[in-house]
A = this chain, B = another copy of it.
């Protein structure tokens, strides 16, 4: 993968996130693995990206502890990929993009897919739209209601 200038040193969590997943196809790889397309061939078929580019990108995600790689066939060697907890947590970023795409890039046909969510302990699932909210008050976060501050403490 042609790595661009790293901005990991920028003191900004958005920039640091983009340093790991900002590369063009990377979040689509995470999406595919989230949806159960865990093998190299499945991801390759899904994205139609060159094999060497995909291999390099998967290695990048393994190096950054977003994925772990497991041999599932020895001859020829074949691998499948699993999300670490760090990778699982990217699902929130994917869901925020999903919501934006549903609203702003769906075109005349409307959103291509729906989402069904099952709450903890619930037997039935319900139609779900992802929303980005303030964890404290539960309101959707709008830019005009948020201010960047010095951190209260150096750890959470």
Q: Are B7 and A28 in contact (CB under 8 A)?
A: yes
A80 interface hit (Cβ, 8 Å):
no
Q: Are A151 and B22 in contact (CB under 8 A)?
A: no
Report the bound CA distance from A125 to B144 in whole Å. Answer: 12
A117 interface hit (Cβ, 8 Å):
yes
Cβ–Cβ < 8 Å partners of A125 in chain B: 147
How many monomers of this chain does the complex have? 2
Cβ–Cβ < 8 Å partners of A155 in chain B: 110
Taken residue by residue from 142 to 156, chain A's Cβ proximity to chain B (1 for < 8 Å, 0 otherwise) reads as 110111111111111
Interface size class of A (residues with CB under 8 A): 35 or more
Cβ–Cβ < 8 Å partners of A105 in chain B: 8, 13, 16-17, 19-20
Cβ–Cβ < 8 Å partners of A19 in chain B: 105
Q: Are B14 and A31 in contact (CB under 8 A)?
A: yes
Cβ–Cβ < 8 Å partners of A99 in chain B: 13, 92
Q: Are A93 and B93 in contact (CB under 8 A)?
A: yes
Q: Are A113 and B156 in contact (CB under 8 A)?
A: no
Cβ–Cβ < 8 Å partners of A17 in chain B: 97-98, 100-101, 104-105
Report the bound CA distance from A12 to B23 in whole Å. Answer: 18
* 11 pairs, CB–CB < 8 Å, chain A vs chain B: A7-B28, A16-B105, A24-B24, A34-B143, A35-B148, A109-B154, A115-B149, A117-B136, A126-B137, A127-B136, A133-B133
The 8 closest A-B pairs by CB, nearest first: A13-B101, A92-B132, A96-B96, A16-B105, A11-B112, A17-B101, A17-B97, A110-B154
